[in-house]
Amino acid sequence: METTNPQRQPDGWMLLLCAWLLSLISTIAVLFIGEIMGQAPCVLCWFQRAFMFPLVLVLGVACCISDTGVWRYALPLAVMGWLIAFYHNLLYFGVIPESLKPCGAGPSCSGADMTIFSSVPLPLLSLGVFSFLILLLAIIRRRFSA
């Protein structure tokens, strides 16, 4: 009788691949916006990047070895990024007063040039990406946790 490691599930590979591709595309997109287009990120964008960039490596390795137990490491990163993105959106949409804004000195994400398709602000896009990553990691946890 062969026993398999519950952390290595080949059928979880597609979910891992989706999560990795989402984090990879997000990372490439923000690097393109910053390095190619010359749009400097605000302080909160930098903090969100600090939680997105490691996800590319963590999820990439997990995808290569089909390690569905990666949710233990990736989920806290995604949740912290989501919390910062949520706070950023509250600031962006004026729910939180400007006096609580840590982006006082330096670039701001509230300009019209910080939108995609002339209507979707980058902070909202970041919140959506982190939300989708959390959803994928929660599905992986629910389906493949021992």
CATH of the domain at 137: 1.20.1550.10
DSSP assignment string, 87-133? HHHHHHTTSS-GGG-TTSSS--S-SGGGEETTTEEHHHHHHHHHHHH
Confirm whether 33 is domain-assigned.
yes
Predicted pLDDT at 1: 42
Please give the residue that has the higher pLDDT: either 21 or 41: 21
Confirm whether 101 is domain-assigned.
yes
Predicted pLDDT at 2: 42
Confirm whether 4 is domain-assigned.
no
Q: How confident is the model at residue 115 (pLDDT cuts 50, 70, 90)?
A: confident
| Per-residue CA distances from 66 to 6, 13, 54, 93, 104 (Å) | 10, 5, 18, 39, 43
Predicted pLDDT at 83: 97
Confirm whether 126 is domain-assigned.
yes
3-state secondary structure of 8: strand
Q: Which run of H or E residues covers position 139?
A: helix 122-144
Predicted pLDDT at 22: 97
Confirm whether 70 is domain-assigned.
yes
| Structural domain boundaries, residue 117 | 10-144
Confirm whether 64 is domain-assigned.
yes
Please give the residue that has the higher pLDDT: either 116 or 70: 70
Predicted pLDDT at 99: 67
Confirm whether 5 is domain-assigned.
no
In the chain, the number of structural domains is 1
Confirm whether 1 is domain-assigned.
no
The pTM of this model reads 0.85
